[in-house]
Structure 1
């Protein structure tokens, strides 16, 4: 799938929902809990549960990013599955340090 900025993606194995903040110009495989994510408008419902090896969970309001690919996702609904792109788990994006106000 080629994600678009502003697109809402939903997990097919848990309640995780994300919004694409930055998108690469290429096709990528975005998964949650080991299963491919789909457009939230087409969500068929949750079937089963996440793969136990991919059940690290997502956190509401956190950004998940892969800077190498140029992909950034914002979690709008937390769930039990781990977000991954092309088989690599997406880490939580670290907050930027604020400048010192000496």
Structure 2
């Protein structure tokens, strides 16, 4: 069975400047200003994680209901994939 996971694009860096979080993509010479939740999600994606793992951790860290978060995180990941910040990876699991 193949499991879809997400991983942050290589050649990227995070910086916090005051209350602002900056995501720098060296490969594309771009930077993005992120809120704290988006920044945390991208930090987690240094290693592959599925949407459920991400949602569970964010729910615990930010005390947000899991069910509400799940759809928001799916939407965020779709945008992040389109912008090339995150890539989808498929892991084969043995049953």
TM over 0.5: no
Q: Normalising to structure 2: TM-score of the pair?
A: 0.28
Q: Which has the higher contact order (CA 8 A, sep 6+)?
A: 2
Q: Normalising to structure 1: TM-score of the pair?
A: 0.27
Give the structure with the larger helix fraction: 2
